[in-house]
């Protein structure tokens, strides 16, 4: 059963999880980060750093509720960091709250820690040479099993406090189911469903428990009230194991935290550099109180360590007393992770596909999540990473692609920076402005070829696009211009279409039209004149005829009058 689940839709490909995963147990497939379960050591870093909260641990709350409802006795074992997580709550108050949730009895894992540290003391007193590596951290144990099995002979052959207390509970409450309450997801690897037969039945992290308590209306007092200190409660802070132990002459005691430092210390122990050293290692900085559950709920290491110390240390150095005999022996079994190594040629091939053909192409910038380009190439070889995860590669590819588009574009393109100097110019633009080499204008003020007015307008105004039509008399060209700029107003690009020929054609047609219109006017005028002349001639003739007819009529009438008088 998977312990960390992955919320597919949330992943935004920032590779922060890959960058922070100490064992690179994350693969990116189809633009989605996924945990490779068999490689993961459950350090939980990816859950803390993911800005999208894309990963979350699989909760066993449902099963625990069913267990409580089944009538079987269910007891809780509680990690000693509870007091820091629940802001100084004391043991009496906390165990009372757990009983309200339905647990029949509540035990402190610190009791198991007491048994374990007593075993360490016996081990060092037995005359062994060391070094001895010891940890309560399941992530470190997983790391050694999977990635550095050669360190197993140096591990103290003692079980973890969690399993020690589980064995103790099984002796005290035969038949009871055990639920472990802790701040750490890696402890889930020590449970029965994960194949750990001597571990608790289920594990619930403090953040899951806190949600459950809130939902059930159960609260604990935040003030630390108990005077009942127990030294073995110091285990969850850095150096806490060492603080509980009696020291043995001739031994040096070291506490190391943080995954990278732990890996180094374990390596040094294996390499024989830490003779007669008793080394306490914890994957999280600050140990358990610096773990993912604490960080996700904004608990600080120093404050949490101080609270734990308050619950653990008194003037007498009081500690648990355990009468029962518990079998504490445990030896890690190796379960090495197999990752095939590519041959030099295979690696070179991948590097070539990644655009890394020369040493200077290998930027080792870490943006893909891998420390070096070769590490990333190895991940590509394993099918864990995609070539496109390299930002410099994608940028170079996009730039060369856009360069290609710009250079072959039939439109003239000029790009100008905030300093109003030309950054880029294509061949079509060079042709318009009679520039023989692009270098003759790149880096020089754009005013050498174009009026800078519209560039200034774009850089200083609110708009993201201006369209223009202009005539450049120096070049005798008509241009349709579109100015666009980027979001940050750092770059303005002017795309120009040379419309001189169509403009000239239009002018010619207009001239022809004007001439035709002029001719038409002349013809009309001439026609009018002729018509007028004809009309006036006709008018004259008619008038003359009229006069003649009148004269004739008068003459006839005069002749008639004369006849009558006669």
Q: For ligand SF4, give the closer residue by CB, 14 or 491.
A: 14
Interactions with ligand SF4, residue window 51-90 (CB under 6 A)? 52, 54-55
376 binds ligand SF4 (CB under 6 A): yes
Scanning residues 460 to 519, which ones bind ligand SF4 (CB under 6 A)?
none
- Applying CB under 6 A, the span of 158-166, 265-273, 367-375, 395-403 interacting with ligand SF4 comes to 367-375
Q: Nearest CA to 156 among 126, 177, 180, 199?
A: 126
Q: Using the rule CB under 6 A, is 429 a contact of ligand SF4?
A: no
Q: Are 136 and 158 in contact (CB under 8 A)?
A: no
What is the β-pairing status of strands 252-257 and 277-282?
parallel
Shortest Cβ 389–ligand SF4 spacing (Å): 7
Question: Of residues 313, 367, 442, 491, which one binds ligand SF4 by CB under 6 A?
Answer: 367
- The least CB distance from residue 24 to ligand SF4, in Å, is 7
Nearer to ligand SF4, 25 or 115 (CB): 25
What does residue 108 show for φ and ψ, rounded to 5 degrees? Answer: -90, 130
> How near is the Cβ of 365 to ligand SF4 at its closest, in Å?
4
The DSSP H or E segment spanning 560 is helix 500-565
| Smallest gap from residue 303 Cβ to ligand SF4 (A) | 25
Q: How far is the CB of 18 from ligand SF4 (least distance, A)?
A: 7
Q: Cis (ω within 30 of 0) for the bond into 160?
A: no
Nearer to ligand SF4, 157 or 392 (CB): 392
Query: Closer CB to ligand SF4, residue 370 or residue 478?
Result: 370
| CA-wise closest residue to 431 among 455, 454, 449, 404 | 449
- Binding window for ligand SF4 (CB under 6 A); candidates: 237-245, 301-309, 333-341, 361-369: 361-369
State the minimum distance, in angstroms, from the CB of residue 387 to ligand SF4. Answer: 9
b/e burial code for range 111-136 (CB count within 10 A of at least 16 → b): bbbbbbbbbbeebbeeeeebbbbbbb
Tokens of 198: 């001597």
**Rounded distance between C-alpha atoms, residue 294 and residue 286, angstroms:** 11
Question: For ligand SF4, which is the closer residue by CB, 14 or 472?
Answer: 14
Candidate residues 302, 365, 519, 552; the one interacting with ligand SF4 per rule CB under 6 A:
365
* 140 binds ligand SF4, rule: CB under 6 A: no
Q: Which of residues 14-53 bind ligand SF4 (CB under 6 A)?
A: 14-17, 20-21, 23, 25-26, 33, 35, 40-46, 50, 52
Which of helix, strand or coil describes residue 92? helix
**Which of 256, 288, 353, 370 lies at the binding interface for ligand SF4 (CB under 6 A)?**
370
Cβ 431 to ligand SF4 shortest distance, Å: 37
Residue with tokens 């009372």: 96
Residue 545 burial (CB count, 10 A):
11
Helix 206-216 × helix 91-101 angle, to 10°: 70
Q: Which of residues 521-550 bind ligand SF4 (CB under 6 A)?
A: none
Nearer to ligand SF4, 364 or 507 (CB): 364
Binding mask 381-420 for ligand SF4 (x = CB under 6 A): ---------xxxx---------------------------
Residue from the set 193, 342, 366, 445 that interacts with ligand SF4 by CB under 6 A: 366
Q: Between 14 and 337, name the residue whose CB sits nearer to ligand SF4.
A: 14
Cα 565 from chain centroid (whole Å): 135
Contacts of 210 (CB under 8 A, 6+ apart): 85, 86, 297
Beta strands in 7-111 (DSSP E): 26-29, 32-35, 55-57, 74-78, 105-108
Interface with ligand SF4 (CB under 6 A), residue from 223, 251, 363, 530: 363
Rounded to an integer, what distance in angstroms lies between the CA atom of residue 40 and that of residue 205?
A: 18
| CB 9 to ligand SF4: min, Å | 11
Min dist. Cβ of residue 255 to ligand SF4 (A): 21
Give the bridge partners for 495, in sequence order.
413, 482
CB of 203 to ligand SF4, least distance (A): 15
DSSP 8-class letter at 152: G
Phi, psi of 541 (to 5 degrees): -60, -45
Binders in 325-354 for ligand SF4, by CB under 6 A: 354
**337 CB burial (10 A radius; 0-12, 13-18, 19+):** middle
* H/E element, 91: helix 91-101
Write b or e for each residue in 307-318: b if 16 or more Cβ atoms lie within 10 A of its Cβ, otherwise e: bbbbbbbeeeee
Site residue total, ligand SF4 (CB under 6 A): 40
Which residues of this protein are in contact with ligand SF4, per CB under 6 A? Answer: 4, 11-17, 20-21, 23, 25-26, 33, 35, 40-46, 50, 52, 54-55, 354, 363-368, 370, 373, 376, 390-393
């Amino acid at each position: 059963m998977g312990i960390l689940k992955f919320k597919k839709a949330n992943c935004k490909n920032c590779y922060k999880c890959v960058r922070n995963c100490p064992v690179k147990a994350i693969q990116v497939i189809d633009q989605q980060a996924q945990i490779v379960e068999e490689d993961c050591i459950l350090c939980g870093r990816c859950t803390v750093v993911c800005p999208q909260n894309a990963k979350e641990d699989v909760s066993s709350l449902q099963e625990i509720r069913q267990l409580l409802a089944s009538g079987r006795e269910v007891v809780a074992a509680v990690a000693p960091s509870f007091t820091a997580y629940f802001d100084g709550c004391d043991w009496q108050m906390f165990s009372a709250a757990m009983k309200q949730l339905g647990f029949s009895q509540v035990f402190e894992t610190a009791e198991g820690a007491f048994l374990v540290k007593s075993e360490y003391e016996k081990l060092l007193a037995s005359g062994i040479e060391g070094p001895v590596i010891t940890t309560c951290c399941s992530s470190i144990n997983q790391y050694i099993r999977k990635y550095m099995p050669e360190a197993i002979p140096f591990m103290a052959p003692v079980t973890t406090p969690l399993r020690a207390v589980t064995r103790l509970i099984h002796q005290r409450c035969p038949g009871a189911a055990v639920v472990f309450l802790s701040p750490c997801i890696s402890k889930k690897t020590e449970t029965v469903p994960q194949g750990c037969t001597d571990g608790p039945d289920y594990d619930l992290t403090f953040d899951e428990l806190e949600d459950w308590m809130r939902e059930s209306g159960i609260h604990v007092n935040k003030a630390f009230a108990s005077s009942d200190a127990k030294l073995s409660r110091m285990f969850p802070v850095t150096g806490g194991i060492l603080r509980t132990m009696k020291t043995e002459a001739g031994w040096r005691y070291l506490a190391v935290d943080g995954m990278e430092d732990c890996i180094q210390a374990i390596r040094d122990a294996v390499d024989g550099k830490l003779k007669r050293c008793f080394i306490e290692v914890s994957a999280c900085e600050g140990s358990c109180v610096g773990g993912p559950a604490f960080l996700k709920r904004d608990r600080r290491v120093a404050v949490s360590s101080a609270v734990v110390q308050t619950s653990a240390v008194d003037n007498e150095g009081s500690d648990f007393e355990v009468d029962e005999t518990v079998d504490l022996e445990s030896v890690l079994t190796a379960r090495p992770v197999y990752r095939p190594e590519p041959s030099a040629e295979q690696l070179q091939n991948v590097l070539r596909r990644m655009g890394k053909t020369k040493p200077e192409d290998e930027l080792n910038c870490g943006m893909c999540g891998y420390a070096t380009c070769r590490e990333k190439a190895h991940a590509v070889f394993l099918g864990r990473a995609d070539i496109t995860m390299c930002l410099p590669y994608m940028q170079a590819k996009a730039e060369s692609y856009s360069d290609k588009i710009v250079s072959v574009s039939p439109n003239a393109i000029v790009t100008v920076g905030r300093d109003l100097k030309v950054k880029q110019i294509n061949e079509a633009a060079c042709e318009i402005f009679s520039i023989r080499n692009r270098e003759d204008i790149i880096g020089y003020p754009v005013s050498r070829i174009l009026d800078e007015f519209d560039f200034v307008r774009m850089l200083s105004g609110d708009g993201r696009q201006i369209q223009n039509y202009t005539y450049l008399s120096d070049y005798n060209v008509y241009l349709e211009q579109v100015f666009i700029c980027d979001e940050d107003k750092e770059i303005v690009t002017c795309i120009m279409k040379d419309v001189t020929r169509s403009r000239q054609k239009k002018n010619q047609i207009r001239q022809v039209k004007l001439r035709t219109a002029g001719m038409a006017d002349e013809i009309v005028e001439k026609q009018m004149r002729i018509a007028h002349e004809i009309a006036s001639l006709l008018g004259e003739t008619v008038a003359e005829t009229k006069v003649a007819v009148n004269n004739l009529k008068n003459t006839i009438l005069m002749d008639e009058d004369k006849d009558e008088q006669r």
